Chain A
Amino acid sequence: MDILVCVKRVPTTGGRINLTADEQDIDTTYLGFTISPHEECAVEEAVRIVEAKGGSATVLTLGPASAEDQLRDAMAVGCDAAILLETDGREWGAMATADAIVDAVRAREAAGTAFDVLLFGHEAADTGDFQVGIRVAVALGLPCVTGVKVLEVGDGRAVARREADGGWEVFEVPLPAVVTVKEGINLPRYPSVPGRMRARKKDIARTSPEWHPAGPEKIRLRVPVEAGSAVEVLGNGPAAAPQVVEMLRRIGVLEP
Chain B
Amino acid sequence: MIVAFVEQAGGRPDQLSLEMLALAARLGAEGHGVLHAVLFGDGAAEAAATLSPHGVASASVVTHERLDDYAPVAWASSLRQVMAERSPNLVMAAGSERGNEVLAYLGAQTTLPMVANVTDVRGGPRMGITRQRWAGSLLEDAWLDGSVALMTVAPHAVAPAPSAATTTVIVEPFAPALGDADLQVRVTSRVAPDAGRISLADARVVVGGGRGVGGAEGFAALEELANLLGGAVGVSRAVTSAGWRPHAEQIGQTGLRIAPDLYIACGISGAIQHIVGCKAAKHILAINNDPDSPIMEKASYAVIGDLRTIVPAISAEIRRSR
Q: Do the two chains bind?
A: yes
A237 to B314, CA, bound (A): 10
Q: State the Cβ distance, A183 to closest chain B Cβ, in Å.
A: 4
The stretch of A65-73, A107-115, A135-143, A195-203 in contact with B is: A135-143
A234 to B201, CA, bound (A): 27
List residues of A (30-63) whose CB comes within 8 Å of B's CBs: 37-38
Which B residues touch A131, using CB under 8 A?
100, 104, 107-108, 114, 116
Instruction: State whether B133 touches A127 (Cβ < 8 A).
Output: yes
Instruction: State whether B143 touches A219 (Cβ < 8 A).
Output: yes
* Majority secondary structure of chain B interface residues (helix, strand, loop or mixed): mixed
Instruction: State whether A221 touches B140 (Cβ < 8 A).
Output: yes
A121 to B143, CA, bound (A): 26
Instruction: State whether A245 touches B318 (Cβ < 8 A).
Output: yes
Instruction: State whether A217 touches B247 (Cβ < 8 A).
Output: no
List residues of B (246-279) whose CB comes within 8 Å of A's CBs: 246-248, 250, 253-255, 261-262, 270-273, 279
Of A171, A174, A216, A236, the residue contacting B144 (CB under 8 A) is: A216
Of B113, B188, B194, B304, the residue contacting A236 (CB under 8 A) is: B304
- C-beta contact mask, B102-122 vs A, less than 8 Å → 1, else 0? 001101110101111100000
Residue B291 lies at the interface, judged by CB distance under 8 Å to chain A: yes
A255 to B67, CA, bound (A): 45
- C-beta contact mask, B212-251 vs A, less than 8 Å → 1, else 0? 0000000000000000010000000000110100111010
The stretch of B16-24, B27-35, B55-63, B295-303 in contact with A is: B295-303
Instruction: State whether A241 touches B314 (Cβ < 8 A).
Output: yes
Instruction: State whether A215 touches B240 (Cβ < 8 A).
Output: no
Instruction: State whether A168 touches B191 (Cβ < 8 A).
Output: yes
A127 to B131, CA, bound (A): 10
A216 to B122, CA, bound (A): 14
- C-beta contact mask, A115-139 vs B, less than 8 Å → 1, else 0? 0000000010111111100110111
A237 to B291, CA, bound (A): 12
Please tell me the size bucket of the interface on A.
35 or more
Instruction: State whether A139 touches B108 (Cβ < 8 A).
Output: yes
Instruction: State whether A173 touches B137 (Cβ < 8 A).
Output: no
Of B142, B201, B302, the residue contacting A218 (CB under 8 A) is: B142
* Majority secondary structure of chain A interface residues (helix, strand, loop or mixed): mixed
Which B residues touch A241, using CB under 8 A?
310, 313-314, 316-317
Instruction: State whether B248 touches A234 (Cβ < 8 A).
Output: no
- State whether A172 and B138 are in contact (beta carbons under 8 Å apart), knowing that A238-B305, A244-B285 are contacts in the complex: no
Which A residues touch B129, using CB under 8 A?
216
Point out which of B152, B241, B283 has the most chain A C-beta atoms below 10 A from its C-beta.
B283
Instruction: State whether B140 touches A218 (Cβ < 8 A).
Output: yes
Residue B124 lies at the interface, judged by CB distance under 8 Å to chain A: no
Residue A182 lies at the interface, judged by CB distance under 8 Å to chain B: yes
Which A residues touch B271, using CB under 8 A?
14-15
Point out which of A130, A168, A214 has the most chain B C-beta atoms below 10 A from its C-beta.
A130
A15 to B274, CA, bound (A): 10
The stretch of B45-53, B82-90, B165-173, B179-187 in contact with A is: B179-187
Which A residues touch B316, using CB under 8 A?
241
For the complex of A and B, the 4 pairs showing the least CB-CB separation, nearest first, are A184-B247, A166-B193, A238-B313, A138-B108
A-B pairs with beta carbons under 8 Å apart, 29 shown: A15-B270, A15-B272, A19-B138, A95-B111, A125-B135, A126-B133, A128-B132, A146-B72, A164-B97, A165-B9, A165-B199, A166-B200, A169-B187, A170-B189, A170-B191, A183-B247, A183-B255, A215-B113, A216-B143, A219-B128, A219-B141, A220-B141, A229-B297, A234-B303, A237-B309, A237-B310, A245-B321, A248-B229, A252-B261
Interface residues of B (CB under 8 A from A): 9, 70, 72, 97, 100-101, 104-105, 107-109, 111, 113-117, 128-129, 131-145, 152, 181, 184-194, 197, 199-201, 204-205, 229, 240-241, 243, 246-248, 250, 253-255, 261-262, 270-273, 279, 282-286, 291, 294, 296-306, 309-310, 312-314, 316-318, 321
Interface residues of A (CB under 8 A from B): 13-17, 19, 26, 37-38, 93-95, 98, 123, 125-131, 134-135, 137-139, 141, 143-147, 149, 161-174, 182-184, 187, 214-224, 226, 228-229, 231-245, 247-248, 251-254
